Amino acid sequence: MTLDEEIRNKIGEKSIFFNIVDDWEAIADELSDSFEWTGSKISWSKTKEHKFIKLHGDYQSWLSQVSSFLEDNAVNREIAMSDEIYYINDSSLDFSVKMDFDKLHEFLDFALKNIPQHHYFFERNKKWCLVISSEGYADFGISGR
C-alpha cells in the first residue's frame, strides 16, 4: 500500500468528514500563482502580515506549538473568516483535502502525525497560507498579489 492509499484510508476512517479533492493540481497551481516563490518556497518577505515560529522537538510536540503560534499571533482570526481551507502536501500525496475552519486543528494533528514533508494550508479567496515545513518552521502570510 502506498502512502497516498494509506492516508486516504485513514481519512476515510475519521469520524469527522474531510473532503478529498482528487483534482489537486488545479489547487496547487492556484496556490503557486497566488504567491511569489524563491525556488520551491514561498517568498515570505513579499507577503503581508508574515509571522513565523521555529518548532522544537518531534512532530508529536509540534501541534501545541503551532496552535499557540496561531492564537498568539491572531492568525486564527484571519483563518476563522475562511469558508474553505485547502491542504496540500509537498509531494507525498496525489490529492488535496478541503475542510472548514472548525476541522482545521483536527486535520493539522492528523497531518503532523501521519504525513511527511511540508504542509500547506491555504484559502483561495483571501489568499493566506500557513506552511509547516519538515525543517521545523511554521510560517503564515497573506498574498500581496
Judge whether 49 lies within some domain.
no
CA distance 38 to 32: 11
For the chain, what is the domain count?
A: 1
CA distance 8 to 70: 27
pTM: 0.90
Judge whether 138 lies within some domain.
no
Nearest to 73 by CA among 91, 51, 54: 51
Which amino acid type is present at position 113?
K
Judge whether 100 lies within some domain.
yes
**pLDDT truncated to tens, each residue of the chain (145 aa)?**
898 888 988 888 875 678 889 988 888 999 999 999 998 899 999 999 999 999 999 877 899 999 999 987 778 888 988 989 999 998 789 999 999 999 999 999 999 999 888 999 999 888 899 999 999 999 999 998 7
